[in-house]
């Protein structure tokens, strides 16, 4: 009982070192007087807090908070995963808006390019609600009539940037873009003369022994539909390992015509997309690695803005 009372009087003792200090303090007459102990209470207290009472060895190292560290790692990984998902969803919404505008309709049944985009983003796991919200934004059914706006900026004194946006508040969008570009040393300014407006149609061709013959055939059809050039590349979608991607460029006025021609039965595996793009008239490389890095960071920040559809630069 006296031990409990003594512990209450002194408070909780955290370690043998503190016990030893208490014992040394109580040994002195002044210590006993300050504690208000009688000789009998002092003797009992000295026995209770004797170092010999504590047999357990103590380490001087800090305890490892394994539970806390585990949660920190989980939280960090979850945050990175959430940011990655958010980026995928934002890109999906932009692709839907661009395809709907390029095809002239927010209805996938009337817009082959939009149908192809929706098929692709569904395969990447984008929720149905996100797709419907993007379609409402471009059609105006969500209560906000999106207005297309194109902004121009100059970076590093010579690199042109075109920013395509869909917004219901142009003042907000302009202010937001300015807040992003200024810290990177860019400024709003006329640069559209550095670009050509073109149509772009991308299709997949299945690989096989007769690929060259099929490629020659589809190129011939595209040129008959007034395409100007083509380029064969590897598909952006890593799952399409059994196909090659072919991009056709054309004047903006014949975009739908070219898209319809190259997607005729028997010519391609599938339509990847068709849209209007900005192509630099004189593409160039970044003057140095630092400039390329800074520009890449600026483009990434611009694309994070919910009003931004596409960002084009004069770099190759």
Per-residue pLDDT tens digits of the chain, which is 316 residues long: 444 444 444 444 455 555 555 555 555 555 445 445 555 555 555 555 454 444 444 445 555 555 555 555 555 555 555 667 777 788 888 888 888 877 778 888 888 888 888 888 887 788 888 888 888 877 766 545 578 899 999 998 899 999 999 888 999 999 999 999 999 999 999 999 999 999 999 999 999 889 999 999 999 999 999 999 999 988 876 566 788 999 999 999 999 899 999 999 999 998 988 889 999 999 988 888 999 999 999 999 999 898 898 999 999 7
Q: Report the first-to-last Cα separation within the chain, whole angstroms.
A: 85
- Rounded to whole angstroms, the Cα distance separating 80 from 77 reads 5
Q: Are 75 and 89 in contact (CB under 8 A)?
A: no
φ/ψ of 303, rounded to 5, equals -70, -20
Q: According to CATH, what is the number of the domain 195-280? A: 3.30.70.120
Cβ within 8 Å of residue 243, ≥6 positions away: 204, 205, 206, 207, 235, 269
Q: Please name every residue paired with 231 in a beta bridge, in sequence order, or none if there are none.
A: 247
According to DSSP, residue 183 is labeled G
CATH of domain 79-194+282-313: 3.30.70.980
Which residues, listed in sequence order, are joined to residue 250 by a DSSP beta bridge? 199
pTM above 0.85, yes or no: no
Q: Do domains 79-194+282-313 and 195-280 have the same CATH topology?
A: yes
3-state helix, strand, coil in the chain (%, to 5): 50, 20, 30
Contacts of 156 (CB under 8 A, 6+ apart): 185, 186, 287, 291, 294, 295
* Domain boundaries, given as residue ranges, for the chain: 2-53, 79-194+282-313, 195-280
């Amino acid at each position: 009982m006296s031990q409990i009372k003594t512990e209450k009087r002194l408070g909780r003792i955290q370690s043998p070192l503190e016990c030893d200090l208490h014992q040394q303090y109580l040994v002195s007459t002044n210590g006993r007087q300050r504690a208000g102990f009688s000789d009998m209470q002092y003797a009992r207290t000295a026995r209770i807090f004797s170092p010999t009472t504590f047999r357990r060895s103590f380490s001087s190292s800090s305890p490892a908070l394994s539970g806390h560290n585990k949660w920190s790692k989980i939280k960090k990984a979850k945050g990175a995963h959430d940011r990655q998902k958010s980026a995928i969803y934002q890109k999906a919404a932009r692709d839907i808006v661009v395809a709907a505008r390029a095809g002239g309709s927010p209805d996938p049944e009337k817009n082959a390019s939009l149908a192809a985009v929706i098929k692709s983003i569904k395969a990447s796991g984008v929720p149905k609600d996100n797709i419907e919200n993007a379609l409402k934004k471009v059609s105006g059914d969500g209560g906000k009539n999106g207005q297309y706006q194109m902004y121009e900026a100059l970076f590093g004194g010579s690199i042109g940037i075109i920013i395509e946006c869909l917004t219901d508040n142009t003042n907000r969008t302009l202010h937001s873009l300015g807040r992003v570009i200024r810290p990177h040393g860019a400024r709003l300014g006329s640069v559209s003369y550095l670009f050509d407006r073109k149509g772009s149609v991308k299709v997949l061709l299945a690989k096989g022994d007769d690929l060259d013959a099929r490629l020659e055939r589809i190129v011939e059809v595209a040129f008959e539909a007034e395409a100007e050039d083509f380029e064969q590349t590897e598909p952006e979608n890593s799952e399409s390992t059994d196909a090659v991607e072919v991009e056709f460029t054309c004047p903006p006025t014949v975009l739908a015509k070219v898209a319809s021609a190259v997607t005729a039965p028997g010519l391609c595996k599938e339509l990847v997309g068709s849209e209007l793009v900005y192509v630099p008239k004189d593409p160039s490389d970044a003057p140095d690695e630092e400039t390329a890095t800074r520009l890449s960071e600026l483009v990434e920040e611009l694309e994070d803005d919910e009003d931004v559809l596409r960002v084009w630069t004069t770099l190759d």
